[in-house]
Chains A and B, each alone.
Chain A
Amino acid sequence: MNPSSVTAPAHQADAHAHHEPQGFFSKYLFSCDHKVIALQYTLTGMFMAVVGVYMSYVFRMHLANPTAHIPFYGVLSPAAYNSLVTNHGTIMIFWVAMPVLLAGLGNYCIPLMIGCDDMVFPRVNRLSFQIFFLSTVLLLLGFIAPGGAFGGAWTSYPPLSAKADYNMTPWGNKIWLLAVALEIVAFLLGGINFITTAMNSRAKGMKMFDMPVLVWMIVIATIIFMMSVGPLVAGAVMLLLDQTVGTHFFGAQGGDPVLWQHLFWFFGHPEVYVLLLPELGVVCEIICVFSRKPLFGYKTMVYTTFMVGILSMVVWAHHQFVAGIDPRMASIFSLTTIIISIPVAVIMFGMIATMFKGSIDFKVPMLWAVGIIVEFLLGGVTGIYLGSSALDVYFHDTYFVVAHFHYTLIPLVAFGGFAIFTYYFPKVTGKMLDERLGQIHFWGTAIAFNFVFIPLFFSGLAGEHRRIYDYSGFAELATPGMLKMRVIATHALLVMMAFQLPFIWNVLKSLFAGAPAGANPWKANTLEWAADSPPPHGNWPELPEVHRGPYEYSVPGREDDYWPQNAAN
């Protein structure tokens, strides 16, 4: 053995009684427990989701009727419109999708699914959340800074973002950049924890291919994040110097504004897959559990996910087809963009094949999971139009693009978030959610969602440009037909927001008066369901040992149609 390694034998550490920290502060605010940190991330993310939805509510109301007084806001000024649109995008990606889907889900599930008592570096984990929380506060402070919050779009292209003379937000632009940088640091710390935990701390008997596919996908997503974010960190430092010191990295005097676009999208496109993969992992888990069938092609899924990860690093310039990039590169990036739909399609077909001939039980989590597949398919198919450079020249910066990425991200973030929430609510709280309220919530949200964004596809095809404060100045965009599309989308958004009320009521009701869930309400195999609901500090009285893969459902010759990973026989 290496004398320099940590050689404390595991059984010795096992003997430690897990002393649960006492008192509100050490138990909930400054806890190192992965479950508490996961909840902190998730709740912060859900709070920011409310903020982000409120912003979209304000500018959608404004677009439907540009002169109106918006309830709960007032009259929207052009500068405020820009900062709301910018921060809506930033918040939804970096402060909702990342904390809920990656940090929250990963923190909760990785240690529970691989059978250990915590993350390998609990204090680094806590630091990660604290930095994230700081970044949240910083971003929101932008709104009370002199000049208002940053309004140069969530992609923050220079020279608009580089000089306060152009963007008119001398404080807002720097605050925005710092907040994003801090947020990235938080997820780098968390990500190293994720990867190391999954690599090094699996339960006794758990081989690499005994890990649930969700853990694989979170780890691969984290690796993509780590590998792609570096150049953006460097770029953020350069942009910050452009803003504060007056260098010209991205300016006209010797610098190059297109360089920022490359650095941003070198991260920005893999980021889409960082959000996609954990979601697909959850969908795999849910579909297996509610179809009572093994996952179709487990190893193929894992290898395909690696393929998605690698390909996702070579598609980024399809965001820049109209930025004057080299046309030869545009062809290459078109090609890679179309190619990446193949492994994603393989994963989707794997999910559908898992459901095929299964005994499907449409409980609420399953509804959300199937909803993700259906809606994400629409988003993915419209992406093929945008991926071909010839078509993208016409679609770029129209509402077609807006509708496209909302059709991918809302299934992932909102539907996926609800799928996670409804699937793991019994585990986290020990109470069951109400099925009927959950179904009302699902159908209301899913149908209204389509009515928000299908009109936007059409108005985009008709040439409606993004990022315009008031369309009345453009004769061809101010026609009654175009206005009707905007009004339908806005009304559907209001309906969609209203359908969140059953969800909130459901959560409150179930928290206080829900039926007790028991340890394994869904009769699932993976290790987290072997722990109590909610799992205590340390997760298990005795850490589990793994005897088989995670998807042994409906094994012939067994009485039960499931076979927990830790069951001895």
Chain B
Amino acid sequence: MSDSVHTEAHDHSHPPSFYYKVYGVLLCLLVVSIVGPMMGGLTVLLVTAFGVAVVKALMVAAYFMHLNIERKYIWWVLVMAVCFLLVLFYGVAPDVMKSHGVNWKSLSTPPPAAAEPAHH
């Protein structure tokens, strides 16, 4: 695929069957992401739920949004946006995720009503 980027950068020559194949793979991955976490274990969950989500997202971006045959710098624009989010995450994480400091301790606890919902 990547070999032909320069020669046919704007030729959307995939036949419909190609998209059906991508769709099939996406559905299989969806099943994996639902069944995987039921196997238990944090690592399995992270890989199957989030790892697969990333793979699905990249597949949608590459094949459905045609990023694989788009000019390369569009990737950079989108990756730049994601990078700034990482900066935001790591800049904010030390504060928001901290529950105690030298002279203080966070009192925020889940509200009592959250213990068991009033229903059924």
Are A and B in contact, CB atoms below 8 Å, in the complex? yes
Chain A residues near B (Cβ < 8 Å): 1-2, 4-5, 227-228, 230-231, 252-256, 258-259, 262, 266, 313-314, 316-317, 324-326, 328-329, 333
Q: Are A231 and B94 CB-contacts (below 8 A) given A2-B11, A253-B108, A254-B111?
A: no
Is the CB–CB distance between B95 and A2 below 8 Å?
no
9 closest cross-chain pairs (CB), A and B:
A2-B10, A326-B94, A262-B92, A325-B95, A329-B94, A227-B84, A256-B96, A258-B95, A259-B96
Check B72 for interface membership: any CB of A closer than 8 A: no
A256 to B101, CA, bound (A): 15
Is the CB–CB distance between B96 and A314 below 8 Å?
no
Is the CB–CB distance between B87 and A314 below 8 Å?
yes
Is the CB–CB distance between B95 and A329 below 8 Å?
yes
Residue interface bits B71-87, CB-to-A below 8 A is 1, else 0 = 00000000011001101
Chain B residue with minimal CB distance to A226? B81
Check B28 for interface membership: any CB of A closer than 8 A: no
A266 to B92, CA, bound (A): 10
A405 to B98, CA, bound (A): 31
Chain A residue with minimal CB distance to B91? A317
Least CB distance from B91 to A in Å reads 6
Chain A residue with minimal CB distance to B108? A254
A255 to B111, CA, bound (A): 11
| Chain B 39-61 residues near chain A, CB threshold 8 A | none
CB neighbours (8 Å) of A256 from chain B are: 95-96, 108
Is the CB–CB distance between A252 and B91 below 8 Å?
no
Least CB distance from B51 to A in Å reads 25
Chain B residue with minimal CB distance to A314? B87
Is the CB–CB distance between B10 and A266 below 8 Å?
no
List 5 contacting pairs A-B, 8 Å CB cutoff, sorted by A: A4-B12, A5-B10, A256-B95, A259-B92, A324-B95
A143 to B107, CA, bound (A): 38
Q: Which of A4, A259, A313, A328 contacts B94 (CB 8 A)?
A: A328
Is the CB–CB distance between B88 and A231 below 8 Å?
yes
Least CB distance from A7 to B in Å reads 11
A313 to B81, CA, bound (A): 11
A205 to B81, CA, bound (A): 31
Is the CB–CB distance between A266 and B88 below 8 Å?
yes
Least CB distance from B73 to A in Å reads 10
Given contacts A2-B10, A266-B91, A326-B94, 15 further A-B contacts (CB under 8 A): A1-B10, A2-B11, A227-B81, A227-B84, A228-B84, A231-B85, A254-B109, A254-B110, A258-B95, A259-B92, A259-B96, A313-B84, A324-B104, A326-B98, A329-B94
Chain B residue with minimal CB distance to A253? B111
Chain A residue with minimal CB distance to B102? A327
Chain B residue with minimal CB distance to A2? B10
Q: Which of B91, B94, B104, B110 contacts A316 (CB 8 A)?
A: B91
A176 to B76, CA, bound (A): 35
Residue interface bits B103-120, CB-to-A below 8 A is 1, else 0 = 010011111000000000
CB neighbours (8 Å) of A262 from chain B are: 88, 91-92, 95-96
Chain B residue with minimal CB distance to A259? B96
Is the CB–CB distance between B101 and A314 below 8 Å?
no
A1 to B98, CA, bound (A): 55
Chain B residue with minimal CB distance to A252? B108
A55 to B76, CA, bound (A): 44
A328 to B94, CA, bound (A): 9
Least CB distance from A437 to B in Å reads 46
Is the CB–CB distance between A325 and B88 below 8 Å?
no
Least CB distance from B53 to A in Å reads 20
CB neighbours (8 Å) of A259 from chain B are: 92, 95-96
A329 to B98, CA, bound (A): 12
Is the CB–CB distance between A325 and B108 below 8 Å?
no
A314 to B42, CA, bound (A): 32
CB neighbours (8 Å) of B95 from chain A are: 256, 258-259, 262, 324-326, 329
Q: Which of A1, A230, A314 contacts B91 (CB 8 A)?
A: A314
A316 to B109, CA, bound (A): 29
A81 to B11, CA, bound (A): 63
A521 to B38, CA, bound (A): 75
CB neighbours (8 Å) of B91 from chain A are: 262, 266, 314, 316-317, 329, 333
A254 to B87, CA, bound (A): 24
Residue interface bits B19-48, CB-to-A below 8 A is 1, else 0 = 000000000000000000000000000000
